């Protein structure tokens, strides 16, 4: 599977569908420890991403991710817009060589993580989306170093992100709005980690379905 602009567009279209399908679930997660608007905001953002990409599809992965970044920043409210926007903007800048190899995928995910941490000042274990992206970046790098191809690296990252998201349930939030709840944040999944895992899973599926 060639990880080129066509793959990146399929990824974002699949992410749009998945976020729409999981909108109410993400809203419910966020109601428990946040504002309750995560699902609504992301759904609006990815709907707009899909419309922009359909109207004028870029010819490179870098171009696709740049459009995604700018669109999410301009349409998604709350903290998610700047965080996801910065993640995709940094990811776009990492795509110097296309199509992406396994190492290129690892670079993309590492860059997205760096963007999130630079914007949100969060570390692992604080019950934020970093707890999904961090394990994803580690798994992607290990898979790339083992010589796996791009789709396999994406699958390793997606699986690690899902595991990382699940691991936020017993954590006490120490960053972001959920941190105001203190001990009451324990026992709930972090919505940003959940949506991050969803999006990374769609990246892997978009590659695997066109092998």
Per residue in 74-93, pLDDT tens?
A: 999 888 999 999 999 999 99
CATH at 63: 1.25.40.340
For residue 135, say if its preceding peptide bond is cis, omega within 30 degrees of 0: no
pLDDT-based confidence at residue 211 (cuts at 50, 70, 90): low
Helices (H), 34-76: 38-55, 61-75
If one counts the domains in the chain, the total is: 1
Q: The whole model's pTM is what?
A: 0.97
Cβ neighbours of 209 (radius 10 Å): 12
Domain membership of residue 160 as a residue range: 5-208
Mean pLDDT taken over the chain? 96
């Amino acid at each position: 599977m060639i990880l080129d602009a066509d793959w990146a567009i399929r990824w974002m279209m699949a992410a749009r569908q998945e976020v729409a399908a999981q909108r109410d679930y993400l809203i419910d997660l966020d109601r428990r420890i946040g504002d309750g608007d995560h699902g609504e905001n992301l759904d609006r953002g990815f709907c707009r991403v899909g419309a922009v990409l359909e109207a004028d599809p870029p010819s490179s992965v870098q171009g696709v991710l740049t459009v995604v970044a700018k669109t999410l920043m301009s349409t998604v409210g709350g903290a998610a817009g700047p965080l996801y926007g910065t993640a995709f903007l940094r990811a776009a800048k990492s795509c110097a060589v296309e199509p992406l190899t396994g190492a290129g995928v690892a670079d993309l995910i590492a860059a997205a993580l760096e963007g999130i941490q630079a914007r949100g000042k969060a570390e692992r274990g604080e019950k934020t989306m970093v707890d999904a992206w961090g394990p994803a970046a580690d798994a992607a790098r290990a898979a790339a170093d083992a010589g796996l191809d791009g789709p396999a690296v994406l699958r390793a990252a997606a699986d690690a992100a899902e595991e990382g998201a699940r691991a936020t349930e017993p954590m006490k939030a120490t960053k972001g709005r959920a941190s105001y709840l203190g001990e009451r944040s324990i026992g709930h999944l972090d919505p940003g980690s959940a949506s991050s895992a969803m999006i990374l899973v769609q990246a892997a599926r978009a590659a695997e379905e066109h092998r």
